[in-house]
């Protein structure tokens, strides 16, 4: 029987799938997202990894989720509220229901909704009997039974059949959003080409899900999202960490520099080590060190031989690297320290996002050693910013800290590869900077930086190290004036960086009621919120800051054009302290420290309170 199906055209949709870590959620999440992009839609994804490795099946700490927002318009986040939630079991329902938009579609795998699983999910009652579920359009499907039934003529184990339920759900999604299935089918054929039974199971489940939605009367509506007006180019999807790795590789191509990467495994930075290890070749040298300190120290060693060196870590590793960072600072050697921030302090919440290493990055060392700190605002920005970090590090002969966070590290964004070729990365200064023939060690250029003299070049032997040395002769010195002079030179040199970075610009109104400042991953939700408000006629400006230190001169001039200034950050007040040390006016702080990114709705709410306006209606 064919039922009447409504086709509804929409601008944006947010889909989330959640289940046990063994349910293949990440796989179908990324497959669906890739195909959405391929179909011409703008996407942003967020994989929500389980808090524990291999937690007991059916428990909340083992739940793995994947969210994707897709749209015909500009989007900057994977979405606040969800339009379609597929929950594979009660625990998935419990941990994700609060994010489901009222009136939206909730699909559950009825076969897993039993008293044993309710207990595991800490439900004291049967959730299906709860009145609360009346707020949603609930579709209950016996996925396990349907699959077992459909595949019973094949002699296959129950385990394999059950595991293919993720493909069943994938099929439903393709139907629901009217996405062409051919490319997905080709992928399934390719992926499982070496295992005929798995190929049969997964293909069959995928088509089964699609057909189920097509034939079931509860699925009476399907959606169509128009294509996004992409800038011309060739696109690929990147996560923040992938973008860092690719950026480092691209640096090799455009600069010809020797590159060294050393890291120690730590969540959420390990993928950078994994990715770069594949390219341990003529492109770069990669070294897994025995600990965080060895990682950064081997980078310092390679910097002395003329390599631009990178080390990636998170909060706990940053603490360990402190002394070594100072050594590189006083020796004035290039070095990029990548901090993928996570909720702290100490072990904290390793898989959750936070922006609380800001003060540490800028000031957190004994002695006067404030450092340049660049903060990437999105996965694509990671690509460009890591190259920028290297450029400044070499030009100014100083360690530079590159901040990202676990949210950017794992979300994906579409990177326009054609734009890369047209970008001016500005490495022309290298040739003269690395010319070791003029042995003027003590000479500083207008930026107060010295040339890059490296070990091994003929007849240039010199000794360096952590002790303070006379600025002219290079001999160890405790002379009072010398130390003061050098401390000031080192500090001033870092400040000079602000003259070599792009001037940050305000998005939205250049003058008005409120200027919102963001940095790092808070950029996305902030930009989305400001776009909505500016369209609605509010006099709001958005200033996203890339270099947290030194600050570009223009920033404080902007402040005077707005009645109010607010800084949003995922910490208990850090960047605000830096801003306030340079600005005597009022800056409102909005801090969120929940291990979760800002929601667009939350930012709108906060701004509303500040502006004292009426309810803001958001049209999707």
Partner 1 sequence: MNYNSDYYNVKQYKTSNEVKWCPGCGDYVILSVIQKLFSELKINKSKTVFVSGIGCSSRFPYYMNTYGVHTIHGRAIPIATGIKLTNPELDVWVITGDGDCLSIGGNHLIHLLRRNLNINVIMFNNRIYGLTKGQYSPTSLKGKVTKSTPSGSIDNSLNVSSFILGNNSSFFARTTDTNGNHMSSVLKEAYFHKGTSFVEIFQNCVVFNNKEFSIYKDKELYLENNKKLLFNNDKKGIILDHNSLELSIVENNLENKEKILTHNQENLNLSSIYSNYEQNQNFPLFLGVFRRLLNKPTYEEDLYKIKAKSSFNNLTIDQIIEGKETWSI
Cβ closest to partner 1, residue 60 vs residue 293:
293
Q: Which of 3, 224, 230, 423 binds partner 1 (CB under 8 A)?
A: 230
Q: Under the criterion CB under 8 A, does residue 42 sit at the interface with partner 1?
A: no
C-beta closer to partner 1: residue 266 or 517: 266
Asked if residue 374 lies in contact with residue 547, where contact means CB atoms within 8 angstroms, the answer is yes
Q: Which one of 86, 121, 244, 300 is in contact with partner 1 (CB under 8 A)? A: 300
CB 509 within 8 A of CB 542: no
**Residue 230 vs 605, nearer CB to partner 1:** 230
Rounded to whole angstroms, the Cα distance separating 23 from 139 reads 20
Token pair belonging to 34:
């890739």
Q: Which of residues 464-523 bind partner 1 (CB under 8 A)?
A: 464-467, 475-476
* Interface with partner 1 (CB under 8 A), residue from 71, 109, 204, 302: 302
Provide, rounded to whole angstroms, the least separation between the CB of residue 95 and partner 1. 31
Span near partner 1 by CB under 8 A; candidates 228-236, 441-449, 503-511, 601-609: 228-236
CB of 357 to partner 1, least distance (A): 22
The 3-state secondary structure of 320-356 reads: HHHHHHHHHHHHCCCEEEEEEECECCCCCECCCCCCC
> What is the footprint of partner 1 within residues 237-256 (CB under 8 A)?
237, 246, 249-250, 252-253
Would you say 12 and 65 are in contact if contact means Cβ atoms under 8 Å apart?
no
Distances (CA, A) of 274 to 241, 266, 380, 498: 10, 11, 19, 33
Q: Which of residues 543-572 bind partner 1 (CB under 8 A)?
A: none
H-run or E-run covering 63: strand 63-71
Which secondary-structure segment (H or E) carries 208?
helix 196-215
By CB under 8 A, residue 43 contacts partner 1: no
Part in contact with partner 1 (CB under 8 A); list of ranges 3-11, 33-41, 73-81, 112-120 = 33-41
Q: How many CB atoms lie within 10 A of CB 289?
A: 18
Number of neighbours of residue 178 by Cβ within 10 angstroms: 13
Count of all residues that appear for the chain in the document: 620
User: Which of 66, 118, 175, 279 touches partner 1 (CB under 8 A)?
Assistant: 279
Residues facing 519 on adjacent strands: 545
C-alpha span between 315 and 341 (Å, rounded): 6
Give the three-state DSSP class for 105: strand
Tell the smallest beta-carbon distance from residue 129 to partner 1 (Å). Answer: 44
Burial of residue 507, with CB atoms counted within 10 A of its CB: 0-12 exposed, 13-18 middle, 19 or more buried:
middle
Alpha-carbon separation of residue 37 from 81, 457, 476 (angstroms): 21, 50, 60
Among 26, 104, 258, 496, binds partner 1 (CB under 8 A): 258
Q: How far is the CB of 259 from partner 1 (least distance, A)?
A: 10
Q: Which of 158, 417, 510, 605 binds partner 1 (CB under 8 A)?
A: 417
Among 205, 309, 393, 449, binds partner 1 (CB under 8 A): 309
Least spacing, CB of residue 319 vs partner 1, in Å: 15
Which residue has tokens 């339920």?
165
Query: Is 278 a binder of partner 1 (CB under 8 A)?
Result: yes
Q: Candidates 91-99, 301-309, 443-451, 527-535 — which segment interacts with partner 1 by CB under 8 A?
A: 301-309
In whole angstroms, the minimum distance from the beta carbon of 33 to partner 1 comes to 11
Given candidates 307, 356, 544, 576, which one binds partner 1 under the rule CB under 8 A?
Answer: 307
CA separation for the pair 288, 265 (Å, rounded): 8
Cα–Cα distances (Å) from 234 to 38, 230, 231, 237, 252, in that order, read 11, 10, 9, 11, 21
Cα angle value 180/138/142 (rounded, 5°): 75
301 scored as a contact of partner 1 (CB under 8 A) = yes
Choice between 121 and 414, CB closer to partner 1: 414
Name which position in 12, 267, 319, 460 contacts partner 1 (CB under 8 A).
460
Instruction: Write down the least CB distance from residue 323 to partner 1, Å.
Output: 6
The SS3 of residue 196 is helix
Contact call for residue 182 and partner 1 (CB under 8 A): no
Number of residues near partner 1 (by CB under 8 A): 67
Smallest distance, partner 1 to C-beta of residue 327, A = 5
Q: Which of residues 314-373 bind partner 1 (CB under 8 A)?
A: 323-324, 327, 331
CB 394 within 8 A of CB 307: no
CB crowding 571-598: b at 16 or more within 10 Å, else e: bebbbbebbeeeeeeebebbebeebebb
Site residues (vs partner 1, CB under 8 A): 34, 37-38, 40, 230-237, 246, 249-250, 252-253, 258, 260, 262, 278-283, 285, 287, 289-291, 293-295, 297-307, 309, 323-324, 327, 331, 417, 420, 455-467, 475-476
């Amino acid at each position: 029987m064919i039922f009447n199906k409504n086709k509804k055209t929409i601008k944006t949709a947010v889909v989330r799938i959640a289940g046990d870590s063994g349910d293949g959620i990440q796989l179908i999440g990324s497959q669906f997202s890739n195909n959405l992009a391929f179909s011409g839609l703008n996407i942003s994804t967020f994989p929500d990894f389980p808090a524990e490795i291999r937690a007991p099946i059916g428990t909340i700490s083992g739940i793995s989720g994947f969210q994707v927002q897709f749209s015909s318009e500009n989007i900057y986040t994977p979405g606040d509220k969800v339009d379609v939630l597929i929950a594979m079991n009660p625990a998935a329902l419990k941990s994700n229901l609060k994010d489901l938009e009222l009136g939206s579609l909730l699909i559950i795998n009825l076969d897993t909704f039993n008293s044993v699983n309710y207990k595991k999910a800490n439900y004291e009652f049967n959730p299906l009997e709860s009145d609360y579920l009346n707020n949603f359009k609930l579709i209950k499907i016996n996925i396990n039974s349907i699959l077992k039934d459909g595949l019973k003529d094949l002699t296959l184990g129950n385990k394999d059949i059950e595991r293919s339920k993720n493909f069943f759900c994938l099929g439903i999604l393709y139907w629901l959003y009217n996405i062409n299935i051919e490319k997905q089918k080709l992928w399934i054929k390719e992926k499982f080409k070496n295992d005929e039974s798995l190929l049969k199971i997964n293909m069959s489940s995928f088509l089964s899900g699609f057909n189920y939605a097509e034939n079931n009367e509860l699925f009476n509506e399907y959606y169509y999202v128009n294509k996004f007006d992409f800038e011309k180019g060739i696109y690929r999807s990147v996560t923040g960490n992938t973008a860092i790795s690719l950026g480092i590789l691209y640096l090799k191509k455009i600069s010809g520099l020797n590159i060294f990467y050393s890291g120690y495994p730590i969540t959420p930075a390990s993928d950078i080590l994994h990715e770069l290890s594949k390219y341990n070749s003529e492109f770069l040298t990669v070294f897994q060190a025995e600990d965080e300190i060895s990682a950064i120290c081997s980078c310092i060693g390679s910097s002395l031989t003329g390599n631009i060196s990178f080390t990636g870590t998170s909060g706990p590793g940053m603490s360990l690297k402190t002394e070594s960072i100072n050594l590189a600072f006083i020796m004035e050697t290039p070095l990029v320290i990548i901090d993928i921030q996570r909720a702290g302090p100490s072990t904290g919440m390793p898989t959750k996002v936070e922006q609380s290493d800001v003060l540490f990055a800028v000031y957190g060392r004994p002695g006067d050693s404030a450092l340049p700190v660049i903060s990437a605002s999105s996965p694509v920005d990671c690509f460009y910013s890591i190259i920028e970090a290297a450029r400044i590090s070499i030009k100014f002969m100083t360690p530079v800290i590159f901040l990202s966070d676990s949210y950017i590290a794992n979300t994906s964004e579409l990177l326009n590869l054609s734009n890369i070729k047209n970008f001016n990365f500005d490495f022309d200064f290298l040739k003269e900077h690395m010319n070791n023939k003029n042995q003027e060690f003590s000479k500083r250029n207008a930026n107060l930086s010295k040339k890059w003299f490296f070990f091994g070049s003929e007849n240039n032997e010199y000794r360096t190290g952590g002790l303070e040395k006379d600025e002219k002769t290079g001999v160890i010195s405790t002379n009072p004036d010398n130390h003061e002079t050098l401390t000031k030179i080192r500090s001033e040199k870092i400040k000079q960086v602000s003259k070599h970075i792009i001037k940050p610009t305000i998005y939205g109104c250049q003058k008005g009621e409120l200027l919102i400042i963001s940095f790092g991953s808070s950029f996305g939700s902030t930009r989305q919120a400001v776009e909505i408000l500016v369209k609605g006629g509010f006099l709001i400006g958005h200033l996203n800051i890339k270099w947290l230190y030194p600050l570009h001169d223009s920033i404080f001039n902007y402040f005077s054009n707005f009645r109010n200034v607010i800084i949003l950050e995922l910490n208990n007040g850090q960047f605000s302290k830096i801003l306030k040390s340079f600005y005597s006016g009022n800056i409102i702080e909005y801090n969120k420290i929940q291990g979760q990114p800002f929601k667009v709705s939350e930012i709108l709410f906060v701004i509303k309170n500040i502006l004292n306006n009426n309810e803001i209606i958001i049209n999707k």
